[in-house]
Amino acid sequence: MAVANTGHGEHDELADPPAMRAWWAVLDAPTDLEAGRPDAPEDVVMLRTLRAVIRGLALRNNGIDVRVDAAGLDRLTLRPDLRGSPSLLADGPDGLVRDVCAATVTALLRATARPCWPRLKACRGTDCRWVFVDSSRNTSRRWCDMAACGNRAKSASFRARRSASEPAD
């Protein structure tokens, strides 16, 4: 979920290559940040596309039919690595973004094969889309946080019903 939750409200950890590297460094993930080619703006587009794909799949798990556009990942070529635990490795020039995308796609494929996959959801709040794990007993959770997003949605629904029932002057 690290990639899926990199942008919320005004704050986007994938705003540009320096912001992306700062986000990766905070994760304390194993990689040599100085190795490979420098990150380019199209690398940020690739990560943002991956984020949108994950959120789209998680929205589907939350009952919202959305179109998932993975065209921004077309430059990413992956090959299987069957040594140890099967995974995917990025083909082509070395780079942090390709490694992050390969690791994330590997984790995503593993997650979709597990029975708990439907529990990975994205918040129904149109201004949120935070990805979370639905730990409710009957898998019925809709929002990332009932106190914030759920309350806003229920208040808006109440206001809409109330204004529809009021007589016109």
Chain centroid offset of residue 109 CA: 14
Alpha-carbon torsion 157, 162, 164, 165, what sign?
A: positive
Higher pLDDT, 110 or 164: 110
The answer to whether position 57 is within a domain reads: yes
The residues facing 120 across adjacent strands are 133
> CA angle, corner 9, sides to 46 and 128, nearest 5?
85
The answer to whether position 47 is within a domain reads: yes
Q: What digits encode the pLDDT tens for the residues 75-134?
A: 888 999 999 888 898 887 777 788 888 989 999 999 999 999 999 999 998 888 999 999
Determine contact, residues 12/57, Cβ cutoff 8 Å: no
What CATH number did the domain enclosing 83 receive?
A: 1.10.3300
Cα separations in angstroms, 118 against 9, 49, 54: 25, 21, 13
pLDDT score at 72 = 86
pLDDT score at 147 = 81
Residue 40 has pLDDT above 80, yes or no: no
The answer to whether position 148 is within a domain reads: yes
Measured distance CA(69)–CA(61) in Å, rounded: 16
* Band of pLDDT at residue 168, cut at 50, 70 and 90: low
pLDDT score at 26 = 84
Residues spanned by the domain of 154: 7-165
As for how many domains the chain has, the answer is 1
The answer to whether position 1 is within a domain reads: no
Q: What is the pTM of this model?
A: 0.82
- The token duo for 12 is 């986007």
